[in-house]
């Protein structure tokens, strides 16, 4: 009998499993396999299924489109893991960021592609997509980050005074900040430290209201449907600022995540009117997480701890030098949960991110590709068209026999900042 996930997928999206590193990686796939490759990387608690509304439209643009269940999620299994469910006690070192990037690189090669036209990531997948473009720009030729800005790799102390070494940076994971949050009049804790802990998997699977209702409340509170989402930039990591984050980021100190979001569970009428995630589609997530548990995805949060992230200082001062776009919903607090990240991404971390490619989509919250898929597809189409025009111009001017002058070589260096109107003129010129 066909399972729930396959029944709710469009007919032209195929699924299969490939050996990738130490994984049997399950993918959703559409488009001619000889076309340029685009990879879609999901976040938490999501699946390859989260891209069901954008895979075909992007494939119809002339791409081979693939969305994997990433390490620890869905139908992707680890060859060295016994049983369907990953446990907190299991070795989680393979969930380090470098390992996640290696998975995506190996997936591209397993699919028969040496280059990727674009890697597109949402939520935690956005961070992996950014690292792919940072570490292997020779393979990943453009990047689209969604909901989670990339502030760049960790920095290293520079030109220091040997007599007064710099203090360790204070982050939201620092014991000082956690103690200050716990000491507020309304004591709080940060969701990432909770998700990285030993109790989260059990709490999520055993929500008092049931797994399906918990997921409904969680997806609802992070969407544009919940009136409590009015995101805005935070000034610092001071607890007075961080306490302004909503309940699914700054949780009551003694609450589980199901308890934190339960008061905002949508009514039966609201659920009936929901068109972006009807119960039949939410049932796919419920069935998958009931089968696998959440620990595989939660291990990603363990790898985001500063002590682990410090390894990425190997890439300190390096920037993403391929064309980059950032896209989010206007009601998405994820854009601002790390103060200053958006500014760092635009000003320093990405050298080829045009102003028009920092996109905020109305009527969407955190789950932007599910809430407003048509607008997401529209902006991806526009961005990929621009990247193709720029790439074509580079190829023309790089030909030894092209006769293009030095002046045109200089023009191409400025091409990334041209307006869409100018790009249309250049596209006509190149054709």
Per-residue pLDDT at 8 exceeds 90 = no
Phi, psi of 15 (to 5 degrees): -130, 145
Q: Is the pLDDT assigned to residue 418 strictly greater than 80?
A: no
- 150 vs 387: CA distance, rounded Å: 20
Q: Which of 32-41, 82-91, 380-389 has the lowest mean pLDDT?
A: 82-91
- Between CA 15 and CA 12 the distance in angstroms is 10
Mean model confidence pLDDT for the chain: 90
Q: What does the CA dihedral 165, 170, 171, 174 come to, rounded to 10 degrees?
A: 100
**Range 96-107 average pLDDT:** 96
Report all structural domains of the chain as residue ranges with CATH numbers, in order of start: 4-158+304-388 (3.40.50.1820), 175-299 (no CATH)
Query: pLDDT tens for residues 323-371?
Result: 999 999 999 999 999 999 999 999 999 999 999 999 999 999 999 999 9
Instruction: Say what the pTM is.
Output: 0.90
Low-confidence winner among 122-131, 253-262, 327-336, 422-431 (lowest mean pLDDT): 422-431
Q: What is the pLDDT of residue 411?
A: 53
Query: In 3-state terms, what secondary structure has residue 91?
Result: coil
The pLDDT score that the predictor gives to residue 181 is: 95
Mean pLDDT on 393-402: 52
Closest of 255, 264, 200, 183 to residue 226, by C-alpha: 264
Q: Give me the helices (H) in 303-349, please.
A: 306-309, 341-344
According to DSSP, residue 71 is labeled: T
Comparing 164-168, 227-231, 276-280, the range with the smallest average pLDDT is 164-168
């Amino acid at each position: 009998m066909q399972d729930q996930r396959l029944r709710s997928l469009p007919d032209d999206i195929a699924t299969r499993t490939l050996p990738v590193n130490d994984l049997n990686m399950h993918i959703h796939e559409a488009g001619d396999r000889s076309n340029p490759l685009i990879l879609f990387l999901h976040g938490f608690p999501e699946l390859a299924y989260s891209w069901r509304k954008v895979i075909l439209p992007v494939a119809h643009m002339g791409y081979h489109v693939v969305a994997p269940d990433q390490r620890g999620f869905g139908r992707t299994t680890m060859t060295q893991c016994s049983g369907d469910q990953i446990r907190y006690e299991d070795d989680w070192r393979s969930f380090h960021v470098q390992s996640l990037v290696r998975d995506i690189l190996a997936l591209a090669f397993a699919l028969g592609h040496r280059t990727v036209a674009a890697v597109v990531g949402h939520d935690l997948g956005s961070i992996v997509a950014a690292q792919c473009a940072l570490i292997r720009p020779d393979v990943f030729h453009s990047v689209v980050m969604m909901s989670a800005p990339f502030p760049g790799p960790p920095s290293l102390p520079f030109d220091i005074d040997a007599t007064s070494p710099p203090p360790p940076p204070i982050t939201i994971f620092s014991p000082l900040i956690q103690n200050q949050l716990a000491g507020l009049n309304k004591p709080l804790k940060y969701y990432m430290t909770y998700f990285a802990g030993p109790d989260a998997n059990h709490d999520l699977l055993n929500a008092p209201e049931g797994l399906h209702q918990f997921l409904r409340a969680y997806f609802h509170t992070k969407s544009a449907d919940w009136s409590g989402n009015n995101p805005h930039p935070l000034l610092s990591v001071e607890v007075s600022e961080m306490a302004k984050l909503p309940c699914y980021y700054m949780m009551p100190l003694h609450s589980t995540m199901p308890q934190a979001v339960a008061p905002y569970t949508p009514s039966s009428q609201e659920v009936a009117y929901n068109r972006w995630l009807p119960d039949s589609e939410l049932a796919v997530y419920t069935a998958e997480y009931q089968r696998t548990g959440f620990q595989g995805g939660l291990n990603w949060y363990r790898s985001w701890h500063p002590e682990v992230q410090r390894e990425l200082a190997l890439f300190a001062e390096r920037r993403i030098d391929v064309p980059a776009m950032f896209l989010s919903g206007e009601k998405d607090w994820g854009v601002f949960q790390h103060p200053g990240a958006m500014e760092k991404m635009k000003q320093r971390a990405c050298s080829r991110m045009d102003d028009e490619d920092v996109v905020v989509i109305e009527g969407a919250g955190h789950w932007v590709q599910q809430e407003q898929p048509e607008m997401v597809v529209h902006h991806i189409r526009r961005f990929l068209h621009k990247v193709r025009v720029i790439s074509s111009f580079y190829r023309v001017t790089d030909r030894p026999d092209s006769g293009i002058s030095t002046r045109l070589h200089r023009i191409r260096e400025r091409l990334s900042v041209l307006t869409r109107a100018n790009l249309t003129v250049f596209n006509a010129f190149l054709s």
